[in-house]
Chain A
């Protein structure tokens, strides 16, 4: 029975070199492996932040500088962008390329809005609260952790805009479902990392 299925998959795989003997797409498996690895990356950064929490010897304290309303709004932006992302993927599956491109563009814009909020937040910290990378352990660990998250978001925005561009040029359609799907997986991951950061860094006192 298993061998029958295996033979069928072999025949199928002959058509698409990305599909393996398990019936799974290599790129999707690869992306999940990468996301697992990225868990360790952010885990190390979050661990560093928590190790140093409350140990700064000078400089402003978290509760003195955090703008919870703004940060909550940013969290909502990313959650919304995850929704628009799956809507875009759904549209692509139905071969509605223009609609998919629109949703992907909205996702990218929501992500860009998030990044701009981060830039605003960082600027406020530096200029109004005198909190810089070099001010204290809090400054160092906060900016590096959220900065790398922001860099991940920025990378995702660029990726999505490239997909939008390809779609507008007629070079993206339902055949590319997996490529857009893995972009989506990356995007959602960036969202869930923010769920963790938002709670652990901003909300928990």
Chain B
């Protein structure tokens, strides 16, 4: 029994809490709703481009962090895990943006054509 408990403690890696099945189901429902909203936004007539893009990005970011925080348990986990994921995520996003700028995906950098 002590062993079992030790295993349970160990396997939760010092996490300070734990999401319950109820929370998981609630998160899943929220994810489904947001997905439906995302698709619906696409069909809003006359929606300006930037508004569409920004609202889609915001909604997908919320979904992203809900899955990472709850399903992947990062909200409750040791800060080391958070650092191991968030650091590279920031670098990856920064590089995506830099590459987009360098390839004139948005007109930010006037480019010399030789």
Chain A interface (Cβ within 8 Å of chain B)? 12, 15-16, 19, 22-25, 28-29, 32-33, 35-37, 39-40, 42-44, 46-48, 50-53, 68, 72, 75-76, 79-80, 82-83, 85-87, 90, 93, 174-175, 177-178, 181, 184-185, 188-189, 191-192, 195-196, 198-200, 203-205
CB-based nearest A residue for B28: A83
CB-based nearest A residue for B53: A204
- Collect the chain A residues with CB atoms within 8 Å of residue B38's CB: 199, 203
- Collect the chain A residues with CB atoms within 8 Å of residue B88's CB: 36-37, 39-40
Could you name 5 residue pairs across A and B whose Cβ atoms are closer than 8 Å?
Answer: A25-B11, A43-B92, A83-B25, A87-B24, A192-B67
- In the complex the two chains form, what is the Cα distance from A205 to B64 in whole Å? 20
Name the one of B31, B39, B99 contacting A203, with C-beta atoms under 8 angstroms: B39
The 8 closest A-B pairs by CB, nearest first: A43-B92, A36-B88, A199-B60, A51-B103, A47-B99, A83-B28, A32-B84, A23-B14
- How large, as a class, is the contact surface on chain B? 35 or more
Name the one of A15, A28, A52, A90 contacting B81, with C-beta atoms under 8 angstroms: A28
Determine if B96 is an interface residue (Cβ-Cβ < 8 Å): yes
Chain B interface (Cβ within 8 Å of chain A)? 3-4, 6-8, 10-11, 13-14, 19, 21, 24-25, 27-28, 31-32, 35, 38-39, 42, 49, 52-53, 56-57, 59-60, 63-64, 67-68, 71-72, 78, 80-81, 84-85, 87-89, 91-93, 95-96, 99-100, 102-103, 105
CB-based nearest B residue for A178: B11
- In the complex the two chains form, what is the Cα distance from A203 to B39 in whole Å? 7
Interface of B is mostly: helix
B89 near A36 with CB under 8 A, answer: yes
Name the one of B64, B78, B99 contacting A51, with C-beta atoms under 8 angstroms: B99
A188 near B11 with CB under 8 A, answer: no
Interface of A is mostly: helix
CB-based nearest A residue for B10: A19
Given A25-B13, A72-B35, A191-B67, A175 contacting B7 (CB threshold 8 A): yes
5 A-B pairs besides A15-B6, A50-B100, A85-B71 with CB distance below 8 A are A12-B10, A22-B14, A51-B100, A90-B24, A192-B64
Given A40-B92, A82-B28, A68 contacting B67 (CB threshold 8 A): no
CB-based nearest A residue for B41: A203
- In the complex the two chains form, what is the Cα distance from A107 to B94 in whole Å? 33
A53 near B52 with CB under 8 A, answer: no
